[in-house]
Chains A and B, each alone.
Chain A
Amino acid sequence: MLVCASRSLDAAPGQEVLLSSSRQIPVEDGLFSWPSDSPHLIASKCSACGVVTFPSQGSCPDCGGREVGEIPLSRRGKIWTWTIQNLPPPSPPYRGNTDRDTFEPYGVAYIDLPEGVRVEARLSENDPEKLAIGLEMELVIQKFGDDADGNELVTFAFKPVGD
């Protein structure tokens, strides 16, 4: 999915301010609604047992049923645990920056969302002093890296509410 970005600087609630005039491309399709003024993660829910799964998949990982439908996940949740990744991960498959000179440590957390799903996600924050278990977080779509054609890759992340 290619999206021509011509966004205003007044970011909608779910957006980081993206100044680039290049195209903004989700790091992978199908993970979150984009473009959107109020983006959400796309999950699937089993009609038989009610289990919610992210990302959306064609069968229920609990009961194996194939009667599943897509649902949007809430934009707010709480940190169950967190860490700071201080070194670049293996790439490929990682699509973000792995240049040791310009690599910036990033936060990763498990966020518990009200639909009964614990999601692994990047954080907008990488200062350990500003992170805590139980902290209320909100979904944002933020820059992840650049692709070979100069387009901007964007991914889902969570930021502290009120930040």
Chain B
Amino acid sequence: MRDVAVLGLGMHPWGKFEEKSTTELCRYAVEAALADSGLNWREVDAIAAASSRFSGGKGWGLNGNDVVEDMGSTGIPVYNMSAGCAAGANAFNIGHMLVASGSHDVVLVVGGEKMPKGFIQTSGIDDYTDPEFLRQRCVGLPGPGFWALLCRRRMHEYGTTEEDLAAIAVKAHKLGALNENARFRKEFTMEEVLNSAMVSDPLRLYEICPVSDGAAAVILTSAEVAQKMTTSPIWVASSAVATARFDDGLPRGLACPPPSGRAHHSEAAIAVKKAIAAAGVEHSDIDLIELQDNTVYYELAFPEEWGFCKPGEAESLVAKGETMPTGRLPINPSGGFQSFGEATTAQGIFQICEVGWQLRGESGGRQVPNAKIGLAQSLGLGGNATATILRR
């Protein structure tokens, strides 16, 4: 397998853009990534795109085809990857393989999304054999309710307080305020978070992410191409994809068996473990993590489930500032989903852009000092997860 460079990074800021199409958001991100790489559209020889069920793609998730038709139909292969909210990083995984395998030298990875208002409708098709459909039809539990169930259990097991949860939202918005691509650039006080509306007990409005519009793009190239364009490329250390194990204790439909160990997101844990092994690094080598913080709860649970700290230790790391860019375990220096909102299928690529900028030292006030290795992780419906490690 060949080394793969991350040569170009581009992002349309996250927000709500009534007047713009998904294609326009993607074009902005693609042009930014191309300009950043120094390459042009005619030099791109394959696309891996995130498939959306909410916007663009002709209703078939053909979002990469939309990009080709807009940028110029040059006859290149387009791979549209569907993996729920993990689609962006799933597309990155395919893009990585296309270059690593020697099939292609310059690959565009792109994801763009315009989200409908309100709770994400995870199932809309009348498929009575789909457990997700039955769950939403007969119980009615949107994402925040699922996160609330997990968070309640954590409070029971570790004594996590409402203040512990709010502290993570305060930290996220402190960093989001420093990020020109974030949708929410205002800091919140602990009191403001604790006074925000209760959505699904114990999670409040400012402790879950809303939905947003946005697009992000990455140009991946062979080492040969990269070394012609720059003397200091960022490299893909590893890219891993996983799905959930049946016995991890989290019902994806209406039921599951109680696990023998701790209930956890096995898909994310497997992907991160695989990525760390494939990169040949130790946990302690990783200078920052961009993880999927749909809710502040995940900033507590994920570092523990992946072995970055001990079970029950995460609250104290947050309280001591260790998850800030200058701390021992920087988490979501971008401001995370809390500051961006979730443009579902574009999220995985936004995370990879942030890790790339951090490794280049281009992250301004939210910069992790001397960051050399970074991890990005995403999670999607269907028990999908990805993990990507970049290094400089």
Contacts and interface: CB of A to CB of B under 8 A. Distances in A.
Interface of A: 27-28, 31, 43, 51-55, 57, 61-62, 80-90, 92-96, 106, 108-110, 112, 116-122, 128, 133, 144, 155-156
A81 B153 contact: yes
A133 B202 CA distance: 13
A84 B255 contact: no
B153 A133 contact: yes
A93 B123 contact: yes
Query: Which of B118, B133, B201 has its CB near the most chain A CB atoms (within 10 A)?
Result: B201
B134 interface: yes
Contacts of B119: 87, 89-90
Nearest to A119: B255
Nearest to A27: B138
B134 A118 contact: no
A51 B257 contact: yes
B72 interface: no
Contact of A87 (B134, B152, B199, B247): B199
A94 B140 CA distance: 6
B182 to A, nearest CB: 25
B204 to A, nearest CB: 10
Given A80-B258, A86-B197, 16 more contacts: A27-B137, A27-B138, A52-B257, A55-B255, A89-B145, A90-B118, A90-B120, A93-B126, A93-B136, A106-B140, A108-B139, A108-B149, A117-B256, A119-B254, A120-B141, A155-B138
Contacts of B150: 81
Nearest to B200: A83
A121 B140 CA distance: 9
Query: Which of A28, A90, A144 has its CB near the most chain B CB atoms (within 10 A)?
Result: A90
A146 to B, nearest CB: 15
Given A87-B199, A93-B124, A28 B136 contact: no
